[in-house]
A and B are shown apart, each in its own frame.
Chain A
Amino acid sequence: MPERAKQHYLTKVALIAWREFRFTALTKGFIFGAVAMPVLMFGVIALMPMLLSRESPPLVGTIVIADPSGTILPRARDILASPPSNVEVLQDLAENPPTDPAAQLDALSELGDTPTQRIEVEWRAEQSLDAIEPMKSELREGLILAGAAIPIASLDPSVEAKPFELYIPSSLSPKHVRQITRAIQQAVEDERIARSGIDANLISRLAKVPSPATTRISPEGGEAQERTELRLIVPGAFMMLLWICVFTSANYLLTTTIEEKSNKVMEVLLAAASPMQLLAGKILGYSMVSLVMLVMYGGLGMAGLAAATMLDLVPMSHIAYLLIFFVMAYFMVSSMMAAVGSAVSDLREAQSLVGPVMMLLIVPLMLWAPIIENPNGPLATIASFIPPASPFVMVLRLTASTEEIPIWQTALAIAWGFGCAWGMLWLAARIFRVGVLMQGKPPTPKELVKWAFVK
């Protein structure tokens, strides 16, 4: 005879919660899909700069410049010897974007503070453009690295620049082509400016206006240094983190509830626990799954920021708000998913009922940009009080704004949000207790409302 004890109401809830957590989060599928994959992706992202900053292939050989003016070679030699700045690399990429992904990576590899490329180039000047044909022969035989012909007209500042000719062997890498092209192109530009009689340094100084150091002045008199990345990346990352963690676990809740109904295991469970215990256990179990994801992904993000010495982007208040609105968002979304899961018999039927829920959940994703742009605007303020979008919108606002969101709005959004979450949980419980025993065609929204208020 087994030893049997009268159980506390919550003991069954805890048992159900642990089963849901164990058979979701402690499975190979979850560990691989939700843990290993992001860790792998994070690892790749972390390793990317290291991989990209590898030693560039050396540029070795002879470059022949056929230039009747004789002025381009010394300029090009000096330019090639001094590596371009990151800004120049990016500008060059923007103006001449490589179409080949490998070439794009190659171009990006030029970014970095201390390039370690070995450049051993010999320059040979030819006074006549007649040297082009012998130059081509030397290229075919692999005797030289590249050849360029600069017509004298290209250097005339009074007319529009003519393109110069560049000859390269088929095996030359895109990076080397870009380096040689940039050097000669820059040399031609400099020579044209010089011939015009204008000071090239003056033009450079005149043309380069650095980005403004923006300071936001609030009506209350506060000043905050503008940081674009803070206003765009951090709020987006916070909202996506919240969205992914909440939606993934709520989706698990939906599918397992449907599975229990279709497997007919629901009635066995209801013989052991009440519908309320079952619902509470399931919601609690998947909240732990969600929390694990939040801690893991959030932790990875924080580790990434710490590695980049950018932890100051995320103050503690942001984390506190994230946790508060995570709880609110999870209870809102999981309540709806549990209600839908209990009412249908398969995933296909669930789609029609989940559709409106998804529409509401997509709202914060769609309104991301305008909310960040104007966190205290009417759109952001109104959206903060529309469940289930409200917690996502509030996280966007609170992490985006460089000026304070009125405290009364934050307090009201929290109070109203938790009130709504409680209401949704209550409705879900009413629907769940009827829905889990229903078979056959899925209910209409009208029938769902009827279930919620049936005695």
Chain B
Amino acid sequence: MSSALRISAGSSAVRIENVSKRFGSVQAVRGISLEIPERSLCGFLGPNGAGKSTTIRMIMSIISPDSGTVEVLGSSALAMKDRIGYLPEERGLYRKMKVGDFVGYMAKLKGVHSTGLSRRIDDWLERLALPGVAKRRCEELSKGQQQKIQLLASIIHAPDLLILDEPFSGLDPINGRLITDLIRSEQARGATIIFSTHQMHTAEALCDKVVLINKGDKVLDASLESLRARHDDRGLLCEPKSNVTHFADSAVRSGLAIAARAREDGTVELDLPNGADSTEAMRAALELSPMRSIALRRMSLDDLFVELVGGSDVAKGARIDA
């Protein structure tokens, strides 16, 4: 059975303290510390070459840090290998091996008993919309199908910690949704999940927590909820039925907003004064004009990513922990 229950409630699935790694002249990771609570879904974000994969490889004990400590499931990843599922960024399969043999081999390496394994593989293939491919060679599958087989190889042993490096790259929207559902179901089963991605909207939709790494530094480490609260810049996004310019002027003149911008798509952005109550502000806006829609304006993860990573000046010193 799964050993997720062996982790005491509230403990960390992964704990990294002041970890650094250098490759030659390149400082890939610089003094990163972070904790990932058990059963959470944590997104590793960052531009290419930021140090995400290096951090993940150190968590996996595939490479050793130059300094600092890494604790996985209360021990070292080497000791916990069989309780971890890992999908590396660079996908690999034995091309000549049959799909069923490959997944079975990986499962056995992770300590799964042979009894019922074949049936389990068939069930999973069915679930991944790949029925009947168990007897086909891996090289006969499409790239997307191969990717799903690799994902299956990483979860077939029901790991307590699942680490997915760019699980969505190269997948079409249908398969992307299938993988999203699978990640959610693994979390519901009790697994802690870490995945790295460039797709901010996916991270925003899935994650409990995000860690943003840039140039080897951790520049953001926060729960999505706290992030939203912290980056809520007190604004409204209104779509008035009346003239947008007139509505924008009225909003400023009435003191509802300190600034208003009419946009080409027929909406108006209102910047609320400090201390304003957003519910009251919405009511006041509705009094100014009937609306097609009105919503709190929030900074998206995309915006945050650009703000923290896009300009080096902005990124410098912008370290957010929650």
Contacts and interface: CB of A to CB of B under 8 A. Distances in A.
A3 B113 contact: yes
Contact of B93 (A5, A23, A263): A263
A432 to B, nearest CB: 14
Contacts of B1: 1, 3-4
Interface stretch (B84-92, B210-218, B254-262): B84-92
Contact of A264 (B86, B90, B113, B156): B90
Given A1-B1, A3-B113, A6-B82, A263 B95 contact: yes
A23 B96 contact: yes
B105 A19 contact: yes
A5 B110 contact: no
Given A268-B86, A268-B106, A272-B109, A2 B157 contact: yes
A265 interface: yes
Nearest to A19: B105
B62 A267 contact: yes
Interface string A58-76: 0000000000000000000
Interface string B50-89: 0000000000101100000000000000100110101010
Interface string A402-443: 000000000000000000000000000000000001000000
A15 interface: yes
Nearest to A7: B111
Interface in A221-273: 260, 263-273
Interface string B101-125: 0000111111111011100100000
Contact of A274 (B78, B86, B106, B108): B78
A77 interface: no
Nearest to A12: B109
Contacts of A6: 82, 111
Contacts of B105: 15, 19
B93 A265 contact: yes
Contacts of B91: 264
Contacts of A12: 109
Interface in A273-313: 273-274
Contacts of B107: 2
Interface residues of A, number: 26
Given A5-B113, A260-B92, A15 B158 contact: no
Interface residues of B, number: 39
Contacts of B111: 4-7
B157 A15 contact: no
Contacts of B120: 2
Given A7-B82, A270-B62, A264 B92 contact: yes
A273 B156 CA distance: 16
B141 to A, nearest CB: 14
Nearest to A434: B63
A4 B157 contact: yes
Nearest to A439: B90
Q: Per DSSP, are chain B's interface residues mostly helix, strand or loop, or mixed?
A: loop
Contact of A4 (B82, B116, B154): B82
A437 B116 CA distance: 34
A428 to B, nearest CB: 19
B153 interface: yes
Contacts of A260: 92, 94
Nearest to B112: A2
A437 B157 CA distance: 24
B276 interface: no
Interface in A340-389: none
Interface string A1-38: 11111110000100110010001000000000000000
B82 A23 contact: no
Contacts of B314: none
Give the one of B60, B90, B97, B116 with max A CB within 10 A: B90
Contacts of A271: 60, 62, 81, 84, 86, 88, 154
Interface in B212-247: none
A272 B81 contact: yes
B189 to A, nearest CB: 8
Give the one of B81, B91, B109, B111 with max A CB within 10 A: B109
Contacts of B2: 1
Contacts of B192: none
Contacts of A1: 1-2, 158
Contacts of B81: 271-274
Given A271-B84, A271-B86, A2 B92 contact: no
Contacts of A270: 60, 62
B150 interface: yes
Contacts of A7: 82, 111
A2 B82 contact: no
A2 B109 CA distance: 13
Nearest to B64: A455
A23 B1 CA distance: 31
Contacts of A16: 109
B150 A2 contact: no
A23 B94 CA distance: 10
Contacts of A267: 62, 88, 90, 92
Nearest to A271: B86
Contacts of B116: 2-3
In the complex, the 7 A-B pairs of residues with the closest C-beta atoms, listed nearest first: A265-B92, A264-B92, A271-B86, A272-B109, A264-B90, A267-B88, A2-B112
6 contacts: A4-B110, A268-B154, A271-B88, A272-B109, A272-B110, A274-B78
Given A2-B156, A2-B158, A274-B81, 20 more contacts: A2-B117, A3-B112, A4-B111, A4-B158, A5-B113, A7-B111, A15-B109, A19-B105, A264-B88, A265-B92, A266-B92, A267-B62, A267-B92, A268-B86, A268-B92, A268-B93, A268-B150, A268-B154, A272-B81, A273-B81
